[in-house]
Structure 1
């Protein structure tokens, strides 16, 4: 026994702990696993379906102090993508990778017990990464919330076949609402969480485009225009508010990409023009309530307070851009220039800037 254990220790010291699963050979077919291997096996058990990821990520955001969580989800070629954005306390840049290690937690004194059990062991993100092809922080900072993306291969990690049917909620004898019918899919996981945290933590779920439109609508109606005067970049704003600072479609696309959302130029124009309606919260949809956040009208621009001077409607910016493109044609002919793409118009304080990407004809 002693020789065998010495050999195990020697191999471990030479090849690294990750390459050896056994800490001690106990004989008779029994072994003591290394901590890393025991954690890996526990993690594989913790997450058995895609829906488990949804619950764990929503709980994480709630425990980080989030009052709003946005879930953008889609599936392509068997890969389920889940992007979680929240207005919680955020993660420092030097912890973006470490939070996926086992037993790493910010809840030393605040473990929470809810209907899904104890939360705060530092195993949720570790378990999610162990069971998926990608799990990483896209953007986060202290007091600015987080954007975390997860990609799961559904041939390896199962999900419900029916992901389109919404559950039905009803009030029980105890007066508490719960989901009583419907497949146990991603929407139901979000619904059960939303009802558990009713009026304490709002959840919004939809496609990437729908979530982008919702983020823009919410930020446009809640971020004070004066705040935008003192920021040099959208990254200075909380994650969930950044799209509200977009000046044009190009700006919108860039900011959306920085928080994990890819949108086309056409989609960006439609969102800025208000033709894509924001999502209702999951709870308000289940309970058929009017969602105050989704229905709140944008705050009118106060020209005395908004020292940027004005906000120009997206359709007017588009017309102005087309006019500038036509006027550029004369200059292009005289100096053998070509215009690469549409002119970009940006409105800031006391200034309208038009940018042309040009090429020189040979």
Structure 2
């Protein structure tokens, strides 16, 4: 009897502590925790740069039991945009705005400590929203995953200046892998997360168009028949496989936060833009002590966001250049009928004209 009494007291104490920690039950496994005003104010300071937001988004997907995370990054002027699609637990529609409020979490009894600190206080999405120009759930389905969109004005929330350099992976003498020395930019942040959590989830990282191509392949690998159900009923991570043409593809992509033109959608459907490999597989690797530098496979012809110029655009660009060259060549008695050499590096476009004087 004494043992039974002790067990009852333990259970009562445990449930009492949970009640003290929970301010309100929001349903569907989500609660609002009791957190002090000081903690709420501190949470806003958790996001000091764009890279901080990236890691918080990734941790959120991992803690929602995502096995696959698709992270798109793009920038226009000073506006940095992240779109993250995952196949995790999802967020019920009636909580799409509530999850960005302070102290809201689905992780009441699963506080997480990882390489970036404590997670599970219900403050990560609030911190992002408090610092972002906009933060919202573009699409979500309970038990099937979500798509989050976040934009920052980098004149207000800064990011590392060098966003084009990709990290590499280094294997130490004891066989342990780590991310090599490189700028602490978005690409490195995603690489560090992907490496630390490689046994829990697979991360894909690239431009919105590349991520869309990858999601198409991901959806096709498991989607049986696009005509059987409406695409709204399909998980966000598999929805693009339902598209019947480029216009619908662009429409569905916009619905999960991946804005693109019909032309880009057409190129994806035609296979001109290939799906990405898992991010870690795309990074170059070396052994500790190896001083030789090897550029990443993805650094050829594109920047870290996956910039790649289609051959048809290169041809059009070349034709325009040749017309301009002929005008210049006539003035300086040079041969005008020459082919420019166009080379696309990770952060620039190089054009070279052979100079031959007229006889």
Q: Same fold (TM over 0.5)?
A: yes
**Match for 1:250 among 247, 250, 263?**
247
8 Å contact kept, 1:40–1:130: no
Work out which structure has the larger RCO, using CA pairs closer than 8 Å and 6 or more positions apart in sequence. 2
Query: Given the two structures, how large is their TM-score scaled by the length of structure 2?
Result: 0.67
- The root-mean-square deviation of aligned C-alpha atoms, in Å, is 1.7
Matched, 1:213 2:210: no
For 2:272, the equivalent position in structure 1 comes to 275
Looking at structure 2, the residues matched to 111 and 174 of structure 1 have their Cα atoms a distance apart, in angstroms, of 31
Q: Which moved more, 1:212-221 or 1:80-89?
A: 212-221
For 1:153, the equivalent position in structure 2 comes to 153
Looking at structure 2, the residues matched to 197 and 37 of structure 1 have their Cα atoms a distance apart, in angstroms, of 32
For 1:62, the equivalent position in structure 2 comes to 62
Looking at structure 2, the residues matched to 110 and 212 of structure 1 have their Cα atoms a distance apart, in angstroms, of 32
Deviations 1:182-225 (A, max 9, x none): 11000100000000011421111111111111111221223223
Structure 1 unmatched ranges of 5 or more: 1-34, 290-362
For 1:94, the equivalent position in structure 2 comes to 94
Where do 1:258-297 residues align within 5 Å?
258-286=255-283
Following TM superposition, by how much is the alpha carbon of 1:172 offset from its aligned partner in structure 2, in angstroms? Answer: 3.0
* Gap change, CA 1:287 and 1:223, over 3 Å in 2: farther
8 Å contact kept, 2:170–2:285: no
Following TM superposition, by how much is the alpha carbon of 1:154 offset from its aligned partner in structure 2, in angstroms? Answer: 0.6
Deviations 1:34-64 (A, max 9, x none): x786345312321101001111110000010
Looking at structure 2, the residues matched to 81 and 189 of structure 1 have their Cα atoms a distance apart, in angstroms, of 15
Count, aligned residues: 252
For 2:28, the equivalent position in structure 1 comes to none
Following TM superposition, by how much is the alpha carbon of 1:244 offset from its aligned partner in structure 2, in angstroms? Answer: 0.6
- Paired residue secondary structure (1:150): strand
For 1:293, the equivalent position in structure 2 comes to none
* Gap change, CA 1:214 and 1:288, over 3 Å in 2: farther
Following TM superposition, by how much is the alpha carbon of 1:280 offset from its aligned partner in structure 2, in angstroms? Answer: 1.7
Structure 1 residue runs of 4+, over 4 Å off? Answer: none
8 Å contact kept, 2:62–2:200: no
For 1:234, the equivalent position in structure 2 comes to 231
Where do 1:50-199 residues align within 5 Å?
50-199=50-199
Following TM superposition, by how much is the alpha carbon of 1:180 offset from its aligned partner in structure 2, in angstroms? Answer: 2.0
